[in-house]
Amino acid sequence: MSNSLTQYINLFEENRELINSKSAGKLNAVREEALGELRDARLPDKNSEGFEKTSIEDMFAPDFGVNISRVNIPVDVAASFKCDVPALSTLLGIVVNDSFVPTSLLESKLPEGVFFGSLKRGAEVLTEVVNRYYAEIAPMGEASVALNTMLAQDGVLIYVPRGVKLQRPLQLVNIFSSPVSIAAFRRVLIVLEDGAEAQMLVCDHTQERANNYLASQIVEVYVGDGARFEACSIEESSANTSRYSRMFVRQEAHSHFSFNSTTLTCGTTRNEFEIDLNGEHAETHLAGMVIGSDSMHIDNDSAIRHLKPRCHSNQLFKYVLDDKATGAFEGSILVADGAQFTEAYQSNRNILASTEARMHCKPQLEIYNDDVKCSHGATTGQLDNEALFYMRSRGIPEAEGHTMLMQAFMVDVIDSVHINGLRERLLHLVDRRFSGTLGDCSGCQGKDC
């Protein structure tokens, strides 16, 4: 029976030589296996558990173009300056659709042994690392993973060898830009060996905003013994952009992983975070901030699996939804048999700023153990009218009071970001977003950001 996968399978079968010729190593080696998985598979739709509000099938059904022959698409790289963070000096890499575009001197600025660049190139020069981790952390048995694996030709590899601590944060700017509508199959592999440390900022932007874009993104993260990885992702895409991003994290003992996912503007976004705490004393902090308006749809889904004793996880997701925006949050915590002394907390707080906005949340706890501390809480409400009147009675105009209260609501999520200089930047972006002055990327040279 035909479904949205059929067109991608046909595309692959008709072009496999071309696809392989523009990619490398392990990326090519697992394509046939991925194809095999897709034969009788379907992408999840609203009847699938966990996808009640977001149909992946519908997202992938339109006939997008895929740039399998790797035509060089010109892009206004200057627009990425928009993502410059004052007081934060980063090592910048840019991905246009799904191809890594090196910036000048990036490689020379990286410490010895550290790789931050094209995944295709990484598969050639760091064969051992890519062979060991690529398509190993994300489960191939799932259709969306198999689909991405079948078609991904490039993306990003970050490799930090044992004991190396990066001083400057890495910054990855994803730019969607194409003269026609396009689907990008991005792949990201992040490997921090034992004791390594890195910070990363990811920004997503759209140029040529009239076109339709679809992003399929699979991110695999390996955080070795005692390693530490902190990242923050900010999405500012267009109303015509659909994104299905899945992040799979494997953490070893004493490792630390923290991730903040911020959605400022988008079309339809589904982010999934699946984190395995695979060694004792591993620690995870997952935070999400969503500001929805117009007809934006944002669905965040987390699954944190405590597989070993004495691990700690903390989740905080906050949404403010206005107009006809819709949001969903499904978060699950699994404490496996034998994972004693687990501490796992989850909190989801939402504000509906209009009567037409909708929020769906479904927290889940599965505990197969006695000695644990776990909690979850979810609330959805409206802006505090008493606080608003108090502000107005002091002369603060209603609209400004609204903005201040919504911003105040997000303060703890912003505070969860520990990359210096970035908190102030996030506050500024959130302020502009709420006051309606966050522009689109086209023509912006960063001066007014």
Partner 1 sequence: MSKKLLEVRNLHASVEGKEILRGVNLSVNEGEVHAIMGPNGSGKSTLSGVLAGNPAYTVTEGEAFLHGVNLLDLSPEDRSHEGLFLSFQYPVEIPGVSMVNFMRAAVNAKRKYFDEAPLSASDFLKMMRQKRAIVELDNKLASRSVNEGFSGGEKKRNEIFQMAVLEPRVAILDETDSGLDIDALRVVAGGVNKLKTDKNATIVITHYQRLLDYIRPDFVHILYKGRIVKTGGPELALELEEKGYDWIKEKNDL
Q: Which residues in this chain contact partner 1 in the complex, by CB under 8 A? A: 384-387, 389-398, 400, 404-405, 407-412
Instruction: For residue 444, give both structure tokens.
Output: 């912006």
Question: Would you say 368 or 389 has its CB closer to partner 1?
Answer: 389
Residue with tokens 């960063």: 446
Q: Min. distance of Cβ 234 from partner 1 in angstroms?
A: 20
Q: Min. distance of Cβ 449 from partner 1 in angstroms?
A: 22
Contact 438, 236 (CB under 8 A): yes
Question: Would you say 78 or 387 has its CB closer to partner 1?
Answer: 387
Query: Dihedral through CA 156, CA 285, CA 109, CA 24, nearest 10?
Result: -20
Provide the phi-psi class of 416: left if phi over 0, else alpha when psi is between -120 and 50, else beta: alpha
Q: Min. distance of Cβ 408 from partner 1 in angstroms?
A: 3
Instruction: Give how far Cα 443 sits from Cα of 18, 209, 347, 398, Å.
Output: 35, 12, 39, 32
Residue with tokens 């905003």: 209
Instruction: For residue 179, give both structure tokens.
Output: 């003269």
Question: Would you say 225 or 384 has its CB closer to partner 1?
Answer: 384
Question: Would you say 365 or 388 has its CB closer to partner 1?
Answer: 388
Instruction: Give how far Cα 278 sits from Cα of 35, 316, 335, 342, 349, Å.
Output: 29, 21, 12, 12, 29
Contact 236, 202 (CB under 8 A): no
Question: Would you say 404 or 438 has its CB closer to partner 1?
Answer: 404
Q: Min. distance of Cβ 47 from partner 1 in angstroms?
A: 40
What is the 3-class SS of 178-209, one letter each residue? CCCCEEEEEEEEEEECCCCEEEEEEEEEECCC
Instruction: Give how far Cα 201 sits from Cα of 48, 218, 223, 423, Å.
Output: 32, 17, 17, 12
Q: Min. distance of Cβ 395 from partner 1 in angstroms?
A: 4
Q: Min. distance of Cβ 265 from partner 1 in angstroms?
A: 22
Q: Min. distance of Cβ 184 from partner 1 in angstroms?
A: 37
Question: Would you say 32 or 398 has its CB closer to partner 1?
Answer: 398
Question: Would you say 59 or 414 has its CB closer to partner 1?
Answer: 414
